Chain A
Amino acid sequence: MNALQIVLLLLALGFVVLYARSPRNPKLALAYLRWVALGIAAILVLAPFVWLIAAVFKDRAVLNEYVFFPPPSEWSEKTVNLGNLRRLFAGDDTVQGKVFFWQYVINSLFFASAITILQLTFCSLAGYALAKYDFVGKRPLMVFMLGSMMVPPVLLFPPLYEMMVKLDLIDTYHGLILPSMVGAYGIFLFRQAMISIPKEMLDAGRIDGCSEFGIYLRLVMPLVRPMSAAFCLVTFLGQWNSFFGPSIFLQTQSKLTLPVILNLYIGFYQTEYGVFLAGTLLAIIPPAILFFALEKEFISGLASGAVKG
């Protein structure tokens, strides 16, 4: 018997006791069971995060000695320090000279932000056109867009790769950003959010002398601000974490993004996994900050997509 088994046994015993006290009306016992099950699920989800943080700050020598952190009595500069982070930021020697870890963070930030800003602009513009105008060719266009959403992105990569080689855009950010700067999914999201804006309001803007673009910018966009925030978050997260495109289009080490370089680090630092885990921890932080800032919009946006759709 070890500690884990004893704890589980005690939890099970708690249920039996509660149930035995009132078998006719097991409300309390069932509530207990529900919270225990949810608690276990939450612990299972959080344990790898805690373990990751511990592994980053533990010294190499004691990495495997403790499951998580060392007990407070053995807590010292020798067991808990910033050694892994220091090594991570010491820089890599490459053919193009020294590359520092900051470079990859900046690359990822730039790549994800650029696509987010472009997507926000172009998806909302196109979504507005589909939501509030009638024009020739609207129906076939929407059918095409729905169809294009069924295409697995990976099918496009072989021809895109060939195209980028011919256009000499391999190993550039242009080649990576251009194909992803607008997409059918985002356009439909914005169309859905804008379709309920009353037409009278837009006409009022027209009578006041607003241009069509002015109406979009000054009247429509402020109204869909919560949706825009959720959209930016989802887009940024997706691009920050994206791997396939950057891994085939980028070649020079100083241009790589975090997912690509960290995947390579597993090979570089085989036995010292504290180092690439430190990089992984840092790569998780920016999306986490964004998420906690926008949590409500995000979860409700995610859920409304399913219920309405």
Chain B
Amino acid sequence: MTHGIEEQVRPAKAAPEIEQPRRRRPNLAPYAFLAPYLVVTGVFVAYPLVHAAVLAFHQTNGPASRAFVGLDNFRYLLTDPVFHKALWNTTVFALFSLFLQLPLSMALALLLNTSKGRMKSIFRLVLFSPNLVGQIFVGILFSVLFTPRYGLINRFVHALVGWGLEERWLGNPSLVMPAIVITSLWLWVGFNMIYFLAALQSVDKSLEEAARVDGANRFQVFWHVTLPSIRHVVVFVVVTSLIGSYQLFELPLALMPDSYGRGPDDAGLTVITYLYDVGFTSGDLGLGSAVGWLLAVIIFGLSLLQIKVARVAED
């Protein structure tokens, strides 16, 4: 009870104090608020980044022993046909994302854009739902869907075109990449569709109307009016999905667990699978870091490209 009385008295007493300038010294609060980030990023991002550059010039045998080898790691990667295969597979996958997945996402976004209300949000939710499932779980599920004779995909393709009931998608080198692409389509088409859909909704409808009145057909309106007005989002989605594609790892790993994601004839080997293999399975963290740096250079280049293209698009 006494506490309550004190509180009633306090405001009258405290008021004059507030009138005084409270602080002349620089405000330390922002530094305090940023301190956790600065510490964590210093120890677990900045230092490892530098350390990865050091490691890339060493050969290691597990974390304990290492020897300086100069540029040998990079020289090895330049000549290793297995690494070339990994880089090739990853690039092929990235091209599929660019020229198959994104157009499909855009098509679905266009189909949904003209509809309204409840149906739209239901379809949006359904098409997006695979993104709730982690890549590993998607891979596990699809590894069974591709089972010869009994798998859902084998049965579906057979019913549709009369081919491939007994096909071992994940055991046939020429079908491994298509299988990964099919899986990634199921997973990501709805994700990019959300971005395109949001952008399409902000397009000025009167511009499209004007073009149509001028006699442009549906495709011309899309190509000359709609697409240019959402170019920022398109650039953003293209670059983020390219960056994502170059980091493909978990899908093939869970699809083909017997070979740790490499697949028959290394047909499913990606850059990160290669890194995982040499760095953590074989224990050469130095070579692993070298692969990591090459991947970082690719991704950095793609990000720069985005900034450049975005600037051009601005004008």
Contacts and interface: CB of A to CB of B under 8 A. Distances in A.
B125 interface: yes
B200 to A, nearest CB: 11
A6 to B, nearest CB: 11
Interface in B26-68: 26-27, 29-31, 33-34, 36-37, 40-41, 44-49, 51-52, 55, 60, 63-64
Contacts of A10: none
A54 B197 CA distance: 33
Contacts of A2: 159
A151 B44 CA distance: 13
Contacts of B108: 38, 41
Given A48-B141, A64-B150, A307 B202 contact: yes
Contact of A288 (B132, B152, B276): B132
A159 B52 contact: yes
B145 interface: yes
B112 interface: yes
A51 interface: yes
A182 B236 CA distance: 24
A307 B253 CA distance: 33
Contacts of B198: 303-304, 306-307
Nearest to B130: A45
Contacts of B132: 237, 284, 287-288, 291
A225 B272 CA distance: 37
Contact of A154 (B60, B128, B136, B295): B295
A122 B299 CA distance: 27
B36 A266 contact: no
A133 B44 contact: no
Contacts of A178: 40, 44
Contact of B296 (A152, A209, A248): A152
A295 B55 CA distance: 44
B77 interface: no
B27 A5 contact: no
Contact of A5 (B29, B160, B258): B160
Contacts of A161: 63, 279-280, 285
B177 interface: no
A116 to B, nearest CB: 15
A104 interface: no
9 contacts: A45-B129, A64-B149, A133-B29, A138-B30, A152-B243, A156-B49, A161-B280, A182-B36, A266-B143
Given A38-B123, A161-B63, A156 B52 contact: yes
A126 B37 contact: yes
A241 B285 contact: no
A51 B250 contact: no
A64 B147 CA distance: 10
A60 to B, nearest CB: 13
A245 to B, nearest CB: 11
Interface centre among B34, B123, B135, B155 (most CB of A within 10 A): B34
B134 A243 contact: yes
Given A150-B300, A155-B295, A303 B194 contact: yes
Interface stretch (A11-19, A72-80, A86-94, A162-170): A162-170
Contacts of A309: 236
Given A48-B142, A129-B34, A267 B258 contact: yes
Contact of B127 (A42, A179, A213): A42
A71 B31 CA distance: 66
A242 B135 CA distance: 8
Contact of B40 (A138, A166, A179): A179
B112 A158 contact: no
Interface in B241-262: 243, 246-247, 249-250, 253-254, 257-258
Interface string A264-278: 001100000100110
Contacts of B253: 243, 263
A155 B126 contact: no
Interface in A178-199: 178-179, 181-182, 184, 187
Contact of B140 (A130, A244, A280): A280
Contacts of A181: 36, 40
Contact of B37 (A38, A182, A216, A244): A182
Contacts of B8: none
B48 A160 contact: yes
B40 A307 contact: no
Contacts of B143: 266
Contacts of B76: none
B112 to A, nearest CB: 7
B91 interface: no
